[in-house]
Structures are given as C-alpha cells and as structure tokens.
Chain A
C-alpha cells in the first residue's frame, strides 16, 4: 500500500495536480517524457486574454517544486508498466539518460562550438538545435541534454574531453510504489500534413498557429519577429483558417476549445508589430466563451481585421511565395479565391494518447481522450480528458489532485 501519488505528464495540468497535492501534504512523483517540465504552455508566447507570458506562472510553479521536498520529478521518463490496484500500484518508469551532470552546468559555450544539428522540435522545425541543448531560457530543471545521435564526428571529440558530460550513460528502469495516479498526458497540435486540402504542410508560408507562437516568442527562431519563413519579411496580408482539422469527422471530431481565442490573441501580436497589417479570419463560429467575448470584441473593433463566415476549402502555393486561399462565404453564398502573404492554420489539439494502444488500464474514447479510470484510482486531468484552455486545465489538475488525495487518504 502506498500514500504516494504518481502524476504522469509535467505540463500545466500535471504540475498543478502534483504541486497542489504535495502542498496538502502528500508525496508526489512527476514523470515527464521530455527533458523539461512545463509542457505545451512553455512553447506559447502569451496567454489570452491578458497577453501575459506563460513563463511567469511556470516560474512560480518551479519555485514551489524546488521548495517542496515532497515532490520528486523525473524528466526524460516514461511510464512503461503499471501493476497492482487502487491504493497499491507499482509503476515501472524508464529513464532515458540525460548524459550531463546533475547540477546546472552552463554548457552554452561548448554547445555553440558544436557543429552537428537537428531540427528543433520545440520550434516545430522552424529552427535547428545543437546536440547539446536547453530548449528554453527558463528551463526547469536548468540542465542541458546531450542528444548523442546529433553529434558530428568533431563534436564527439570535443564532448569526449568535456567535464560534466558522459555520452555513455544508459537508460534504466525504476519502480515506484503509488496509491493513485493522475494522468495529464496533454495534447499535441494536430498534424498539418494530414490536412491535404490545406497544403499538407508543404505550402511555403502556410504555417500552423503553434508555429506562429514560436515566431512571436522572444526565444523563438526569429527572436520574436513575426515574419514569413520563406524570406523573413513581415507579412502585410494574413489569413487565419479556423477549425483546421477541428469539428471535422475526418480529423478531429470535436471543437478544440482554444483556437478561436488563440487566433484573436495572434491578431493582437500581428497588429502590435505592424499596425498596417491586414487580417482576414475564416471561421465557422467565433467561439469566445464567457468573459472572453471582451477579447473578441476588441479584435472586431480593429479596422484592419475582417471576418468571413465560411470554411476554407483549399490552400495552394501562389507566386512569389504567396498563398492562395479558396473559401466559401457561407452568408453571401460566394466562392472566394484570394492571395495572402501568410496563411495561419488554426490547428486544434489532439490528445497525446490518440492512437496509443494499451497505455494503461484506462478507457479511451474514439478520439483518444480518457473516458474513465476513477474506480481504479486513476484520474485524468487537463487536455488528456478534453480540450481546455490553461485556466481550465489548472482547475482540472486541482480537482484531480483532490480525487487522488482522497484515494490515498488514511492509508
């Protein structure tokens, strides 16, 4: 039997669940697949509706973790097995080696001297990274990772002599005894290449909303300048395609909750950088629930932003790296074909567990959202459960923490 709680996923919902349970006096383990905590929100430039930076909230969360001896976390770690039952589970965790020393060494000079490069997954391919890297300036833990696959020959020689690096570390498995689990495995942006009518990710200057977040970020590939990937020029004429994959039986059979609000926020980014930019939003419904309507009204009041009710039918390459957009204006009944400097696909969120077989003794629905588990002492939180924005993910994490605490209570 165990009083400890295992939180799977170190994104915002998971962090919240873990910290809230620990601050109520429970022992908590966090298992995170990537090398750092923070999850998807770390990739965002700003949050709606206040346009505040996500790293502000993460900073507080990380400080709470540092100060709380009840929280232990494992990064580059995956849950690979679970046996037992509610109140007494043994979770098998596979730890991938980090290959750097465990104490915040600053490898920035060594890293910049390396030559091998890989696509930077954190920037969705908009930039390259070295074999030794730290994805974000506020990374927690503040440690570099050595990705041995990306080392060039000369890199290997450099790294071999370096202090605090061990390229030979192997992965290992550990067992954790826990009484309850919170599963907060989150989401991934819907894969653009599946949207064949919208260019399948092959049209230059047709990017996803998450890529736009990276472009707008001060630590993104352009230091925060929103430019066209093809020529690094600021776009003058931008289209947003809402529901790119969402509300579509062939892709995501639900609304992704955040994409309308994300687009309004991104309109404000664009207008801040260039007040003369012209923006058109193609939508089915403008979904700004609750007091978020204030943001919608703010964007509607901008003279350079126009709205067309109608789903985009096609995105295609135009001359000069511009982009054709074909859409139907559903109110006027007109077919439109217009050319833009930049087209942003408001892609939705797909649960990370979509397509994952037998992850846990957990029922998933046909889209991959967790649909149960409570009776086994396993509680879903955040976007693993349904599409949510950050504040609702935080509420969901807090609620899941309560359920997990009740489960291990008094053992």
Chain B
C-alpha cells in the first residue's frame, strides 16, 4: 500500500500536445498529501538521482513515472520504492484523435478529451500504487536434487550433466539395465562434426560414468509411483524392487523415450505375415548378433500401404462405433483412465529418424559383409534434414547402396524370396524388386502416449494435460520456449518429446537440465519461472470467505492448486506461474497477489471519471488488454500513429484468465458503456502464454453475458476479441468498431445511477 507517492512526468517522452504543467497541477490538487511530490522533468532519464533524493527526504514508498509505455521502461529505474508507469505516449498522446475521428490540432493547447484521458490515466496510476504492496516471496526449500526418469541416452546424459552442474541425481529406469533403446544401436548416425561418419555411441562409457558417479543414485526395475508436492520440494515415490522409496527432489527431467509402434500397424506391409519382413529395430538386433545372411535387402521408407490400411480400419471402426453407440461404456467418474494415444501417425512422425537410421543400417550391413550385400533404399521423401545431408551424400556414393524414390504398392512372397512392387521411381519405370529381406521403419511411440509416466499426485490428475494436442508426445506448444509444459518443474528431453536422433537427444537433455536447475533456484528464492521469471508475488488466499466452489483448483492451467477433502484449495506457490487465472475464477474474490488484485483493478476502473451526458461528453469504454500480446500491439499501433477513439480507457492485465467478472460489474455500475477484452488467440494453436487464459475468459464471458441480460443490460456491451501481437494495424479498427456499436446501442442504462 503505497501511501506517499511521487509523480514524475517525462516531458521529453510525452511529446507535444499535452499541457503537462496543467496535468501536474490537476494531480497535485486531486491527491494532496497522498502525493507530496509532483514534478515535471524535461528528461526523466536524467532525474534518477533526484527521484532517489525525494524518496529518502520525503519517505516516498511509491513512484509513478508518467511518460513512455512501461514496456519500454521496466528495469531502467531501479529505485528503493514501488514503481508504476503511466503510458502517456503510445496509448494516449500518439494514439489520440478527436471524438469525430479528425486529426487533432494541438496549436491551441491540448484538446479537452485528451486532457481528460491523461488525467484519468494518471489517477488510475496513483490508485494502482495505493493498492499495491511489494511482494514478499514464498520460498520453499529448494532441494538440490534432480530426478531423471528414464535411463536411455537422454536420461543418462541428463544425469551426468546435472551432476556436473552440482546437483544430486536420482535416476529411475524401468527395465533391468541402463541404456534404453540405444542398447541395440552400438553405432549411430553421425554425432559430431563433420557429420559424415557413423559413430560409436559409447553407451557403456556413459553407463559406467553414471554408475560410478557418487552423486547419482540409480534405481533399476523401478518406475514412478507418484510425484507430489511442488518444485523445490517434490516428493517422489518410486516403485522399486525393494518396495516404495520416497525421495525429496527439486525438479524432474522426463526422459522416458519411446516404444515401437505395435506390429499390427505394419501387417499390411507383410510384418508377421512373412518371415523375412522385419522392423528396423529387429534388423539392428540381428545385425548386432551377426545374424544377417540376406544379401539383397530392401529398406522400405514409403509406408503408404500401412497408412492407407490404418485409415480404412479407423473409418470402419468409427462406423462400427456409430452403429453400436448404445454400447458405450460408463466411465467411472472418479477414476483416471489413460487414453491410448498410439496411432499409425507415429510412423509418419518418425520419418527423419527412420531416414537417417535406414542409411546407417544399410551402411553397416554392407560393411559387415565386406560389400557383398546389396541394399535398396526405397523412399517417398528422404527426410535427412540439415547437416546430416552430408551423411546422406556419402551414402549415395557408397558401393552396394542403391536408393530411389518409389511408391511401394505391395510387398509379397514369391517362392523363397520377397517381391517389392515399386511405382513412379526415378529409374524411369515401374519394377518389381526381388529381395531376401525387407526392413520396415519403426514407429516411435512416446511412452507418454500409453502411460501416465510421472503419475502426478495432483488434484487435476496424474497425467500431463494437452497430450492429445501433441499426439502423445510431452512436447511444448511454444516454438520459442521448447521446455515449457503445463507441469512446472518437469522438463521433457529426448524422444518422449519428439522423435530425434541421438545428437539431438544429448543436446535436449542439456537444455532440460538447465531448466530443472533454474526451477530449483527459483523455488528456493520464492520467485516464478517462465514466463514471469523472477516475479516474487504469488496468490494469497483468504480462506475465511472461500466457499469451496473448486473453480480455482479446476481452472488453474498449471495444476498449481490441490485441495483437501472439503474442497478448500491448497496452494503450491512453486508450481504457480502467476497468471492470476485463479483469482479471475473466484466468485468470492478471496484470492489476490500483493501487487495485482481484484480490488486494485476495480479501484482503477472506478477512478475513471464517467460523464453523465453520453451524447455530449461521449461514452466510456473499458479495454482490459493482455499485457503479453494485446498491450504491446496497442503500443506499436501508437508508435505507428494509428489512432483510436479517445473515450477508451485501457488497463493491462496479466492474462485474460485473470479477468474477474466483478471488474465488468464495476465498470457497468460505474457507468461505462462497454467493456472490451483483448487477448490472445485460443484453440489448438493457442498463443496464450498461460495456455488457457484467453479460452477460459471466453467461457466466463458467456456467464457474464447471462448476468447482464438478467439485469437488463445488452450482453453485446461486453466483447472479447483475439489480437495477435503483430496486429497493430488492425487493433485500432477493432476498438473503433466496438465503440461505434456502443454508440448505436446508446448509453449504459445504469449510467448515473
């Protein structure tokens, strides 16, 4: 609660058009003793010493900087008081146009609507500071131990790297030995520059390094029973042969890899029908054991036959399900049932690993038989992207390896050999290839498609949400932030995230370890991880008024809230990403952050002066804008001299998920004529940095509309619009369009009441 606030105007960055001295005078007059300092600075950047001096001489506990957008300034002014910003440049002066849409003439001083708008924004800034407290962080113990689940190439790398960074490691492996899928791959595709040579995987070296490292404890034949608690102080229970083992860990690297696609999917290509049709994985094993006697081998990368058959089968199954719809089994409401996400698509998703893998196997078999083998590689697209092209090139020139694009239309047995029918080849003709052995690609099915591997002991269930979106892979939805999942403190690495070659697995493991280490340090300091990294605030619950309605525990996108048997929420601040979706959900308004809360935004809304005369003095429209995308888009629109209706007042929110219905009520009872919610795109390709915020807001909006309807207010007075950060040239039109619809509707019936 800032009680003595200094207000500073940055003339250089407000630009012409506004009478800053008059604005300062208005501010002094309105706030009196609450704001002992109001200064007009010609260049704010040069006034930092002065601000510091004021803070100590006047015991200021809040500083309000009025000038450029907070986006441009955060972090520049590190002073010993709470700092807030008033955006008088981008979203006020630069984006100003007259109410009739004409460009302003500043020669006669500031137009009245601009002066009113600026005063509103300054007053809202003062209130924001008054309703804000410096956050005190919620620290947890920050156990410096990383749990690595999975002992394959990614897990082994993660364990070694975490140990090398100074963390203890617990490694849990389901099988009886370390190594994972790499056990059958002694030699891999290239792992280091110059990317042309097959390479020894050196798996045994890695395994001995792990086993011999005093900081690494390995549990074989073990798997996760539960993971409870929160980052920094997770409680992992491991189902080990000696019984359940309970260990405190700070963060988790999930590296449980993949399982081969069920053979039934490859039956249309002859697998399990013909003895001499095998998968690449099986072929690798035989090669390793020296059991390959075939001398003409087809490596078939075109899997259209299998994909078509699977599609037909799926259609038939869907039809059958439709016909027998009555028979749908009742789900036990309380029990978690893992949806099996394995599908033929995993074959297509493994294209790059298979393309490189087939090249390696063909090379190995030729080498092993002193070039007495003929290897035919039949592909639709040779998916060897990037630097591994060099390896592909080398294989193109290799004696004994023949490659062609081909549509493989059938694989059949003829006598004691196999025939592969090839069409549309690069040889200028269709042909039947006679071989002794056919090797089929492997579909890599992530372990998380079949099983809730981590088994979270979370209120929202034991599995990652959203896995369908990624076909069962524990991938991130964010291109820029590949380690972000919806379970804070758990970072995926390797083929459980995407099919990838071993060099990529090792790199991925390093990245996941860094994120795990970061998460532990953040938890021990009580601050948030991505995307609000370093934020010390966290949601505080006033349980006295909680009605156990469970909305917050259900809606939190990150599963941060557990609950007790009565349904009272149990916060886990280290799981929390500080989006505020919980307080947006709460009908009793019992949740708040020290520096961001319901009362604060409500008070800012109420601070706006809403004139009684709609026609003469204009409507008032509130825009609640997501600070991650919509707010920057508005800033850029202003910088590009795009203008919007001056009767709009914009308040940034952390995420639309944090918008509580009470703010809309506050605005309506204050006399605002409309409320616009500007947020990110939602749906499968969502852009929301907090995953679900804008989607949840759109659902809540339906309830708000219903409430308004009951009160006799047109529900169209509240609209949610999706804005991308690059839609700066469109967003002013969105705003103006909304305002003009409001103008048509006329004044809010509650105005002046």
Q: Do B45 and A52 touch across chains, with their CB atoms under 8 A apart?
A: no
Question: Which B residues are in CB contact (< 8 Å) with A164?
Answer: 12
Does A59 interact with chain B (Cβ within 8 Å)? Answer: yes
Interchain CB contact under 8 A, B480 and A57: yes
**Residue pair A369, B193 in contact (C-beta under 8 Å):** yes
Q: Is the CB of A255 within 8 A of B385?
A: yes
User: Do A255 and B510 have beta carbons less than 8 Å apart?
Assistant: no
Contact present for B726 and A53 (CB under 8 Å): yes
Given A25-B521, A333-B428, also A285-B504 (CB < 8 A)? no
Give the complex CA separation of A391 and B510 in angstroms: 15
Also in contact, A106 and B15, with CB within 8 A (given A50-B685, A60-B480): yes
Q: Does A66 make an interface contact (CB < 8 A)?
A: yes
Does A233 have its Cβ within 8 Å of any Cβ on chain B?
no
Task: Name A57's contact: one of B379, B387, B479 (CB within 8 Å).
Answer: B479
Query: Interface readout for B6-47 with A: 1 if CB under 8 Å, 0 if not?
Result: 000000110100000000000000000000000000011100
Task: Determine whether the beta carbon of B387 is less than 8 Å from that of A59.
Answer: no
Tell yes or no: B705 within 8 A of A by CB. Answer: no
**Which chain A residues lie closer than 8 Å to B405 at the CB level?**
309, 330-331
Contact indicator B13/A409 (Cβ below 8 Å): no
Instruction: Give the complex CA separation of A254 and B392 in angstroms.
Output: 10
The distance from the CB of A54 to the nearest CB of chain B, in whole angstroms, is 8
Neighbouring A residues of B482 by C-beta, 8 Å: 391-392, 394-395, 398
With A59-B628, A402-B510 as known contacts, state yes or no: A372 contacts B639, CB within 8 Å: no
List chain A residues, Cβ under 8 A from B431: none
Binds A, one of B52-60, B67-75, B326-334, B661-669: B67-75
Number of A residues with CB within 8 Å of any CB on chain B: 84
Q: Which of B127-135, B160-168, B276-284, B711-719 contacts A (4 or more CB under 8 A)?
A: B160-168
Contacts of A387 in B (CB 8 A): 385-387
Q: Within 8 Å of chain B (Cβ to Cβ): is A266?
A: no
**A45-83 CB contact bits vs B (8 Å, 1 = yes)?**
101001111111111110111111100000000000000
Residues A372 and B514 in contact, CB atoms below 8 Å apart: no
A386 at the interface (CB under 8 A from B): yes
A163 CA / B515 CA spacing, docked (Å): 45
A343–B352 CA distance with the chains assembled, in angstroms: 28
**Residue contact B629 to A394, C-beta cutoff 8 Å:** no
Q: Within the complex, what minimum Cβ distance (angstroms) separates A103 from chain B?
A: 4
Q: Choose among B195, B511, B513, B728 the residue with the greatest number of A CB atoms under 10 Å from its CB.
A: B511
B381 touches A218 (CB 8 A): no
Inter-chain contact B352/A290, CB cutoff 8 Å = yes
Q: Mark B379-391, 1 if CB is under 8 A from A, else 0.
A: 1011111111110
Query: What B residues does A103 contact at CB under 8 A?
Result: 12-13, 43-45, 76
* B193 partner residues in chain A, CB cutoff 8 A: 365, 369, 371-372
Known: A60-B480, A255-B385. A24 touches B514 (CB 8 A): yes
Let me know if A390 is at the binding interface, CB within 8 A: yes
The reply to whether A52 and B352 form a contact with Cβ atoms under 8 Å apart is no
What 0/1 pattern do residues 395 to 411 of A give for CB contact below 8 A with B?
Answer: 11011011101100110
**Is B687's CB under 8 angstroms from A106's CB?**
no
Contact A102 B480 (CB under 8 A): no
Q: How far does the Cβ of B517 sit from chain A's closest Cβ, in whole Å?
A: 6
Residues of A within 8 A of B265 (CB): none
Q: Which of A61, A65, A291 contacts B470 (CB 8 A)?
A: A291
Which A residues lie within 8 Å of B517 (CB)? Answer: 24, 402, 405
Closest to B729 in A: A218
Contact indicator B685/A52 (Cβ below 8 Å)? yes
Interface string of B336-356 (1 = CB under 8 A from A): 000000000000111110000
Q: Which residues of B contact A161 (CB under 8 A)?
A: none
Whether A257 sits at the interface, judged by CB under 8 Å, is yes
Q: A108, B641: Cβ atoms under 8 Å?
A: yes
Q: What does the 1/0 interface line of B466-498 toward A look like (CB < 8 Å)?
A: 000011010101111111000000000000001
- Cβ of B513 and Cβ of A402 under 8 Å apart? yes
Interface size on B, residues (CB 8 A): 92
CB of B724 closer than 8 Å to a CB of A: yes
Interface pair B74/A293, CB less than 8 Å apart: no
A370-381 to B contact mask, C-beta < 8 Å, 1/0: 011000000000
Where chain B touches its partner, the secondary structure class is: loop
In the complex, the answer to whether B164 meets A104 with C-beta atoms within 8 Å is: no
Query: Whole-angstrom distance between the alpha carbons of A291 and B467 in the complex?
Result: 13
A105-B12, A369-B193 known; A399 vs B511 contact (CB < 8 Å)? yes
Find out whether the CB atom of A24 lies under 8 angstroms from the CB atom of B639. Answer: no
B728 touches A137 (CB 8 A): yes
- In the complex, what's the smallest C-beta–C-beta distance from A156 to chain B, in angstroms? 23
Min CB–CB distance A112 → chain B (angstroms): 10
Q: Is A361 an interface residue (CB 8 A)?
A: no
* A402 and B165 form a contact (CB under 8 A): yes
Task: Give B400 Cβ to nearest chain A Cβ, in Å.
Answer: 22
CB-defined contacts of B44 to chain A, threshold 8 Å: 103
B607 lies within 8 A of chain A by Cβ: no
Q: Is A23 part of the contact surface with B, judged by Cβ < 8 Å?
A: yes
Q: Does A399 lie within 8 Å of B386, measured CB to CB?
A: no
- In the assembled complex, the Cα of A410 lies from the Cα of B632 at a distance in Å of 40
Residue B217 at the chain A interface, CB threshold 8 Å: no
Encoded as 1 (CB less than 8 Å from any A CB) or 0, chain B from 723 to 753 comes to 0111111000000000000000000000000
Rounded to whole angstroms, the CA-CA distance of A223 and B517 in the bound complex is 43
Instruction: Name the residue of chain B whose CB is nearest to the CB of A257.
Output: B386
Interface of chain A residues 251 through 278 with chain B (CB within 8 A): 253-257, 260
* Contact assessment for B389 and A254 in the assembled complex, using a CB-CB cutoff below 8 Å: yes
Set of chain A residues within 8 Å of B242, measured between Cβ atoms: none
With both beta carbons as reference points, the residue of chain A lying nearest to B525 in the complex is identified as A25
Proximity string of chain B (636-648) to chain A, C-beta cutoff 8 Å, 1 when within and 0 when not: 1001110000000
Tell me if A288 is interfacial: C-beta within 8 Å of chain B: yes
Interface residues of B in 673-732 (CB under 8 A from A): 681, 685, 687, 689, 724-729
Q: Given contacts A108-B641, A394-B481, A398-B511, is CB(A60)–CB(B689) below 8 Å?
A: yes
**B577, chain A: closest CB distance, angstroms:** 12
Q: How far is it, in angstroms, between the C-alpha of A369 and the C-alpha of B479 when the chains are bound? A: 23
* Alpha-carbon distance between A22 and B742 when the two chains are bound, in angstroms: 47
| Chain B residue contacts of A401, Cβ below 8 A | 514
* B485, chain A: closest CB distance, angstroms: 14
Q: Given that A103-B45, A218-B729 are contacting pairs, would A24 and B521 also be in contact in the complex, using a CB cutoff of 8 Å?
A: yes
Q: Evaluate contact between B636 and A137: CB separation under 8 angstroms.
A: yes
- How far is it, in angstroms, between the C-alpha of A105 and the C-alpha of B161 when the chains are bound? 45
Does any Cβ of A come within 8 Å of B507's Cβ? yes
Q: Using A253-B389, A365-B193, A387-B385 as known contacts, list a sample of 5 further A-B pairs with CB atoms less than 8 Å apart, ordered by residue number in A.
A: A64-B533, A137-B640, A287-B382, A392-B482, A406-B161
Would you mind naming 14 contact pairs between A and B with Cβ atoms under 8 Å apart? A20-B514, A52-B724, A53-B726, A66-B75, A103-B13, A103-B44, A254-B390, A289-B351, A372-B193, A392-B504, A395-B482, A398-B511, A399-B508, A402-B517
Instruction: Please give me the 8 A-B residue pairs with the lowest Cβ-Cβ distance, nearest first.
Output: A57-B480, A371-B193, A398-B511, A399-B510, A289-B352, A66-B75, A255-B389, A257-B386
- Chain A contact residues, CB within 8 Å of chain B: 12, 20, 23-25, 45, 47, 50-61, 63-69, 101-106, 108, 137-138, 142, 163-164, 217-219, 223-224, 247, 253-257, 260, 285-291, 293, 309, 330-331, 333, 365, 369, 371-372, 386-388, 390-392, 394-396, 398-399, 401-403, 405-406, 409-410
